[in-house]
Structure 1
Amino acid sequence: MLIINKRNWAVFGCCLGLLFCLVIFLYLYNPIIKIELSGNQVPGQIVLSQSEQKMLIRELTRAQFIGRGVCQAPRLTLSVRKKKGMDRYLIDKDNLIYDSTGQIVQPGKKLQELLTALEQKLRDRSLYGEMIAWSEADKIFPRLARAQVQDFDSRLAFWVQRRAGRAHADVQPLTAEDTAIMKQIYGGKWSWKRRAILVKIKGRKLAASMNGMPHGAGAISGNNFPGHFCIHFYNSKTHSGRVNLEHQVMVWKAAGKFGEMTRRAVPRRIMEVFFTAVDQGEVNLAEQLMAIKDKKEKRDLNEILHRIEWLTVSGCKATQESPGQSVFLVKLEVGLEKEPGKLEREGYLLLCRSKGAAPWKIDGSSLLKLLKSQEKVQWPGGIKSQG
């Protein structure tokens, strides 16, 4: 009996030793924790499944090495997280894969199919759309094509048909039901306010902006929409040939790139984008451009900014500029909620930045004083107004 017990313990010990060796083997020779795919055109990321990871690693080892170089315009980024450190691979528009040392590999057919499927999964799961130039959007969404428009904030969606437009898309809702959904998005009344939208067509999701006012001619009978409305994409233009900042801010929002598009902007541009966001009711976007000192200042600014129905900059002069500060004398015309007529505001607005390449921010105290002040300010001579 004693001999049998010793044998059992010996067998148990051998099994335990083999299990320990297997764990050590997996730790040393299979160090990958997870692989993530992120997009450069579409913000967001997905984690590959175990089967997708195995296929990716297998096909990467079979891919053909074709030289060395630098990826100039990465479309996708593969992040391979290991127990110690991380490896990154950049993928360009031609599906060439660049590792951190500059080696370039040409993926085989199976790897290209996997990358295409993963990119589509990324697009489907992302809250944002692709920010593509009008020249490309014009081809993806040609005249007479149908697309689904999804409002970015409410996520309500309706169908449209593009009827015309050279520098942007002139579209109409397909049916009366689609018109009703669009009017619901605008709170039951038509408006020129811009809204961030996603245009879904041909398996793609494009960042765009729309206004909510029927105007001009309409050609779809029975849709209860008296005219058409406009959809703008990145760098599209109005009928007058001008890129409309109100639409562009909404495109940046729909693409998740508002911070990226304003990070390196000069003070005057920051100010233009800020007041544009406030005018369009996008206080959350405007707040990203403010430097606020405390909770009380934030509360006071939030209260007055949310009451603004519309805002126009009628005058602007730079009075003082330095590497860390920029001061403007600004004239505003403001329409407040539930208050008829317009208010005039005039005063100095300070923009500041910390050292290095930090983005410019609007000083909250100077903004609050400007929005509340009813005093007239002496405009300095010799500086041209740029209203």
Structure 2
Amino acid sequence: MKNGSGMIYARVRYAISVLVLSLMVALSVYTPAKNPGGAVEEGGTLYGEYIGWAEVNRIFPRKGTARIIDLDTGRSFQVMRVGGSYHADTEPLSYLDSVEMNSIFGGSWSWKRRAALLTLDGKRFLACSINGMPHGSQQIKDNNYPGHFCIHFRDSRLHVNRREDPAHMLMVCKAAGMLDEMLAESSPGEVVKTFFTALDQGELGILARVTYFETPDQLTELLQMAQNVDRANLHRASGKEDTVTVELGLKLKNSAKSFERAGSVKVCHSSYLGWRVDYSSVKPLLLPGKDDLPAARITPEDTEEDLTI
């Protein structure tokens, strides 16, 4: 009888841990169920309008000024648009704006994308994505920012290849509060791409949201591994149903080496969360192995958008 009670206790404890895990994952990237396009406020977070580049290009002309609000921190700085045909090339408006922007990016300039809002008048807020690396030409000479940076909106494209940037598009969805809606409509292959994009960008909340865990310990393990990843370039993802074959380049922090990895990723479906990546199947791809080959296809970050138009 004592052993039976112990087994029941263990099962109850396991069920509770799985429930807690599910709540942690759901709350880690909580967004409104649906954003019909206008700015909304949920749980103290303001989400922006999900509008296309064509309209932004019309209402935010060159030499126009705006305020950028970082979604995660709520901090803001002013910018001036200095160019851009497929997205907005902008610069911090002043020296103090550059200081604030640098602080938002953790004290060092980075190509990492961040979800943000752009407002022209303090009344209308537009969902966007920014990177923080100065590149290309500089027009404001006294702002202590040696170049410009890019702001992407829905339908924006890179100048260098005229393609949408997956990381920017993911951050635009986050800024619009539309992650849940986007993921619910995603195919298995698209969810796998989102997993590796979030991994590459250090978006731990989104990474947890698109992953299926059997135990809470697996969530902790994934987050620890993710924080050690510097770059994760997904080169190929193909397959249907519940298995997606991938090829990727992986570079770890504090290491000059990068590696090519290939394998199959399992996905599973939930009526509430949609398709998710099975952690047990993706874990081997994130661990360096003895047989790894040097990765020749890690995209240099300084060539992704280093083109002024």
TM-score, scaled to structure 1: 0.62
Counterpart in the other structure of 1:65: none
Q: Does 1:263 align with 2:177?
A: no
Residue aligned with 2:206, SS: helix
Are 1:347 and 1:373, in contact at CA under 8 Å, matched by a contact in 2?
Answer: no
1:44 pairs with one of 41, 44, 47: 41
Q: Which residue of 1 aligns with 2:169?
A: 248
- Give distance in 2, aligned partners of 1:208 and 1:347: 33
Give the 5 Å matches for 1:347-386.
347-354=263-270, 359-372=274-287, 374=289
Output aligned runs, 1:313-324, within 5 Å. 313-318=234-239, 321-322=240-241
- Aligned pair partner of 1:333 in 249, 254, 274: 249
- Describe the shift of the 1:330–1:375 C-alpha distance in structure 2 as closer, same or farther (beyond 3 A): farther
Task: For residue 284 of structure 1, report the CA deviation from its aligned partner.
Answer: 0.7
**1:134 equivalenced with 2:27 (yes/no):** no
* CA distance in structure 2 between the partners assigned to 1:317 and 1:140 by the alignment: 39
Identity of aligned residues (%): 36
Q: Equivalent residue of 1:303, what SS?
A: helix
Q: Whole-Å Cα distance in 2 between the matches of residues 43 and 289 of structure 1? A: 24
Are residue 234 (structure 1) and residue 230 (structure 2) matched?
no
- Measured in 2, the distance between the counterparts of 1:258 and 1:346 equals 27
Structure 1 position 360, deviation (Å): 1.2
Q: Using the alignment, how far apart are the partners of 1:280 and 1:183 within structure 2? A: 17
2:90 maps to amino acid:
V
**Consecutive aligned runs of 4 or more in structure 1 exceeding 4 Å deviation:** none
Deviations 1:348-381 (A, max 9, x none): 2111214x6962111111011332363769xxxx
One-letter amino acid of the structure 1 residue matched with residue 180 of structure 2: G
Deviation at 1:126, TM superposition (A): 4.9
What RMSD over aligned residues (CA atoms) do the two structures have, in Å? Answer: 2.4
Give the total of aligned pairs.
257
Q: Which runs of 5+ in 1 are unaligned?
A: 1-37, 47-124, 378-387
The residue aligned with 1:217 is: 137
Gaps of 5+ in 2: 1-33, 293-309
AA paired with 1:247?
H
Partner Cα distance (1:266, 1:237) in 2: 22
Q: Which amino acid aligns with 2:61?
A: P
Q: Counterparts of 1:6-155 in structure 2 under 5 Å?
A: 40-41=36-37, 42-44=39-41, 126-155=45-74
State whether residues 148 and 160 of structure 1, in contact with CA within 8 Å, keep that contact through their aligned partners in structure 2.
yes
Indicate the structure (1 or 2) with the bigger Cα radius of gyration: 1
How far, CA to CA, are the matches of 2:288 and 2:267 in structure 1?
18
- Determine whether 1:301 maps to 2:222: yes
Q: 2:127 aligns with which of 207, 225, 239?
A: 207
- The 1:40/1:126 distance shift into structure 2, 3 A limit, reads farther
Deviations 1:102-147 (A, max 9, x none): xxxxxxxxxxxxxxxxxxxxxxx75211111111111221211110
- Deviation per residue, 1:28-84 (Å, 9 max, x gap): xxxxxxxxxx963234369xxxxxxxxxxxxxxxxxxxxxxxxxxxxxxxxxxxxxx
CA distance in 1, matches of 2:53, 2:172: 11
Contact 2:231 2:252 in 1 (8 A): yes
**Distance across 1 between alignment mates of 2:224 and 2:272:** 31
- Residues 161 and 292 (structure 1 numbering): CA distance in 2 closer, same or farther, change over 3 Å? same
Contact 1:172–1:220 (Cα < 8 Å) also in 2: yes
Residue identity in the other structure for 1:173: P
CA distance in 2, matches of 1:193, 1:45: 25
- Say whether the 8 Å CA contact 1:348–1:370 is kept in structure 2: no
Partners of 1:299 and 1:221 lie apart in 2 by 46
The SS at the match of 1:191 is coil
Q: In structure 1, what is the Cα distance between the partners aligned to 2:91 and 2:178?
A: 27
For 1:315 and 1:223, how far apart are their aligned partners in 2?
Answer: 41
Give a deviation string over 1:317-376, Cα, whole Å, max 9, x none. Answer: 43xx44xx2x1232322122223321333322111214x696211111101133236376
Q: Does the 8 Å contact 2:193/2:237 carry over to 1? A: no
Which residue type is aligned with residue 105 of structure 2? Y
